[in-house]
Structure 1
Amino acid sequence: MSQDHLDPEKRESKYIGFVAGCFSGITKNFVGHPFDTVKVRLQTAEPGRFSGPLNCCVMTLKNEGLFGFFKGALAPMYGWLIMDSVMLGSLHLYKQLIKDRFYPEEKKLPMPGLLVAAVGSGWTVSFVAAPVETIKARLQIQYDAKSKVFDGPTDCLIKLLRYDGLKTLYRGLIPTMIFRTNFVFWWGSYDLITDALDRYTTLSKPAVNFWAGGLGASVFWTFAYPADVIKQTIMTDNVAKPRFRTYSQAVRYIYTERGGMKGFFRGYIPTMLRSFPANASALAAFEFAMRLMHVH
């Protein structure tokens, strides 16, 4: 057994990313939730409710006030805290495990190892993300008293559990895992952009983390967005009479009834507007927390 396995401080360093990830989750939710509400509404609303992102913002503000943009915010406040803790913590853990096992002589984990760690973290966090995002999405599409079914995240959780146990909460698990497989684009680009900024600019470390985090997330969302639309469509399906029994049924529905290929990009603009500031701030917060805890 190597000395690394005997050293408690070294052992702790593999898991400290889970703690730092909490800072990322809180930051991401605070900055990004209003954009996320607009995105989910555009993705799931029946045709004709909104003419576009700006109209969605205006109608939400007019009918529900500023609070309308923060519907469902409590669930992801706790949920993002846990989700980013698991996502970034598992990414940090998998990167170290893969490097120790397959690239012990390398100073830095090569890109193939990073991409494997990225997929592993995406699949791992999906088991947390699926129920959290299901509750968030169902609260976000409650437009008025007529469409209101749940009084809040706890009420939503209780009612779904009473109805069919964990079935509805985890109905979006496979779509969530498919969506998060695109983490290869996020963390691959984040690594490449970080290296480029370190090499060709004189930006401070926090500034590098901010820009790489924002740009990397934008790359991720560009590739992953259609999978997110499919995921949200399945998650907000009618509980009592589900329309989509399979992933392919949701794909066909979006294509035939939501405007062809354009249907897979509904809500794309608010997503991209949200992506940069929310993820840039979140990744900067994560890396800052890691530096505070002296983990590199």
Structure 2
Amino acid sequence: MSEEQKQVGYLHSFLAGGVGGIFLVLVGHPLDTIKVRIQTMHVVPGQEAPYKEDKGMVDCAKKIVEKEGFKGLYRGMAAPLAGVAPMYALCFLGYGVGKHIFCDNDAFEKLKLTQIGLAGATSSLFTTPILGPGERLKCVLQTMESPHYHGPKYNGCAALVSGLYKEGGVSSIIRGSGITCFRDAVASFFYFATYEFLKKEWTPEGKKQPGVFATFCAGGFAGMANWMAMLPIDTVKSRYQVAETGKYSGVTAVARDIMAREGVKGFYKGLTPVLVRAFPANAACFVGYETASKFLIKIGIE
């Protein structure tokens, strides 16, 4: 997401951020599906892994398409798409609140990255009410056709919400929201700090903003930075959200199980598809946001 030094209005942020978020989901969701499948695959000692370790991303994509068609790569997309507009509006609001709390007046001019990062992390408090249950629905839908999924299968989001509610009430629907908030705080810290750093570094002397290509690259690299930092948390989150009810007492139990079974590398499953996805998805988000933002300014919505 792009952030102007001059704060725009909430309606502007909502509309432009929503467009950027839609671009991000459309470009990045297939690779996100692959990431979740690899993260949650169950490896039985002595048996071949569901997806080959040496070419897991390609092998996973191939098997999904062979079994489910290309639509399998877009499983669970309805949930994030339905939430992107309000989520991105809230993200900009949260970032603005965070800047007011943490940032000095010269924080962006002197690149006080810790202050900027903490401002970014604040946005997670605003987005988690949407992202928490959205991630729960998305991960379950993405893994229903996986060979190691043992839970009931649902035909779409509405049936899944109904089934999860019957299974455990609201707490079942929002399972993993706490760790989602923590994950996104870490992600937003690195995302906004990296973006603002690159944005300033690549702004030509005498200009207020970098060019389109530099903005594109800044968004892409910022996306890669936040995912490298928070992937271990995301792996724990995904495992916890798709696990059978009662299998784990909490997220710490998931982390202990991963460490015991797979070691440190188990937390980094799906790293390749994450990084491959992060650059184009976040770059697409920037393109969508900036394009919508310019249009909104032209029609007087500032």
AA paired with 1:160? Answer: L
Q: Which residue is 1:245 aligned to?
A: 249
Q: Would you say the 8 A contact 1:21–1:86 is kept in 2? A: no
Which residue is equivalent to 1:50?
Answer: 51
Task: Describe the superposition over 1:192-230 as per-residue Cα deviations: whole angstroms up to 9, x where unpaired.
Answer: 011111147999633232111100110111111101101
Aligned residue number for residue 15 of structure 2: 19
Checking the alignment, whether the CA contact within 8 Å between 1:25 and 1:85 is kept in structure 2 is: no
Distance 2:189 2:210 in 1: 26
Contact 2:108 2:116 in 1 (8 A): no
Aligned partners of 2:204 and 2:210 also within 8 Å: no
1:35 aligns with 2:36: no
- Matched to 1:282, the amino acid is C
CA distance in 2, matches of 1:260, 1:248: 15
Question: Of the candidates 118, 121, 126, which is equivalent to residue 119 of structure 1?
Answer: 121
2:3 is aligned to none
Matches within 5 A, 1:59-98: 59-95=63-99, 97-98=100-101
CA RMSD across the alignment: 2.8
Distance in 2, Cα, partners of 1:55 & 1:235? 24
Separation of aligned partners in 2, 1:65 and 1:107: 47
Show the counterpart of 2:138. Answer: 136
Residue of 266, 278, 282 corresponding to 1:279: 282
1:269 aligns with 2:265: no
Aligned residue in 2 for 1:6: none
- Deviating more after overlay: 243-252 vs 134-143: 243-252
- Would you say the 8 A contact 1:42–1:266 is kept in 2? yes
CA-CA distance at 1:14 after TM superposition: 5.0
Q: Secondary structure at the match of 1:181?
A: helix
Instruction: Tell me how far 1:112 sits from its aligned partner.
Output: 4.2
Map 1:88-237 to 2 at 5 A. Answer: 88-95=92-99, 97-98=100-101, 103=104, 110-143=112-145, 149-182=153-186, 183-199=188-204, 205-237=211-243
Q: 2:51 corresponds to which letter in structure 1?
A: F
Partners of 1:66 and 1:168 lie apart in 2 by: 29
Q: Equivalent residue of 1:245, what SS?
A: coil
Q: Which runs of 4+ in 1 moved over 6 A?
A: 200-203
Across the two proteins, how many residue pairs are aligned to each other?
Answer: 281
SS at match of 2:264: helix
How far apart are 1:144 and its partner, in Å?
A: 6.5
C-alpha distance in 2 between matches for 1:204 and 1:107:
14
- Structure 1 residues 127 and 201: CA distance shift in structure 2, 3 A: same
| Contact 1:26–1:77 (CA under 8 A) maintained in structure 2 | yes
Cα distance change, pair 192–107 in 1 and its aligned pair in 2 (3 A): closer
SS of 2:275 mapped into structure 1: helix
Q: State the one-letter code of the partner of 2:35.
A: K
Counterpart residue type for residue 136 of structure 1: K
CA distance in 2, matches of 1:244, 1:289: 43
Query: How far did 1:285 drift?
Result: 1.7
| Equivalent-residue separation in structure 2 for 1:144 and 1:234 (angstroms) | 16
Partners of 1:46 and 1:144 in 2: CA distance: 10
Unpaired stretches in structure 1, ≥5 consecutive residues: 1-9
What secondary structure is seen at the aligned counterpart in 2 of 1:72? coil
TM-score, structure 1 normalization: 0.85
2-structure distance, mates of 1:270, 1:92: 31
SS of 2:202's equivalent in the other structure is: helix
Give unpaired runs (5+ residues) of structure 2: 1-5, 44-48
Distance in 1 between the 2:203 and 2:259 partners? 43
Alpha-carbon spacing, 1:236–1:12, altered in 2? closer, same or farther (3 Å): same
**In structure 2, distance between residues paired with 1:290 and 1:104:** 24
> Could you say what secondary structure the match of 2:172 adopts?
coil
